Structure 1
């Protein structure tokens, strides 16, 4: 009798745990649409970056890291966070990638990404304060 009660409790527990994630997953529908609440007219990534093969995704990440570092540093440098400053065209980041990194080995690009991330993270607090004041964070 006692064993049947334990089995019933365990069954209920298992059913409860396995059905909950299914319910939560239904609310998380992935989308490819770009819906931004801040600066919704951001320039799209260059097509070549969107079409890069998965094995070379580190190149796309490096350009994204360059873009982020450049933009956050520019915000701090000029003290302005309008949408054109926060999300400019990708041309400058692409140029840095082409001039400095395009012919690098994978490991060199990963090291460069790390450096750009450090730069971006250093500029982020000051940039955030400027952008918060402008309503663009």
Structure 2
């Protein structure tokens, strides 16, 4: 085996370490953050704590509330013709109320069916709501 001169070996080691450190720094810069930030309506209300802490086996409860929330908000935008932040991202109370009143005791398959219905409603309202929101600079 050929021996590398000591100064050259040290230079190669230093270069290797600096590239490794630069690569690690770059990876830290692209690591996902658990903190959510939004360009549009940054002060939107957070999901209720119970939704954030729901057990994995019951995540379909959270999904249904999110689907209710999305459908309600898009339909409200279309109904009012307004896309201010309070209209687009209101509190979660109304969606939670619908969930508690209509679905909280349902079986999983019933909640999944309800989610499909709310997704259809949201998708139906989305094009018109998007146009309203784009005109307001809130999309």
User: Secondary structure in 2 aligned to 1:130?
Assistant: helix
Q: How far, CA to CA, are the matches of 1:57 and 1:37 in structure 2?
A: 27
Q: Does 1:121 align with 2:123?
A: yes
2:87 counterpart (68, 85, 88): 85
Q: Which has the larger radius of gyration?
A: 2
TM-aligned CA deviation for residue 30 of structure 1? 1.1
Q: Does 1:73 align with 2:78?
A: no
Length, aligned pairs only: 115
2:136 counterpart (128, 134, 137): 134
- If the length of structure 1 is used for normalisation, what is the TM-score? 0.81
Structure 1: 4+ residue segments shifted above 4 A: none
1:112 counterpart (111, 114, 118): 114
Which residues in structure 2 correspond to 1:1-137 (within 5 Å)?
26=27, 28-137=30-139
* CA RMSD in angstroms, aligned pairs only: 1.5
User: Secondary structure in 2 aligned to 1:120?
Assistant: helix
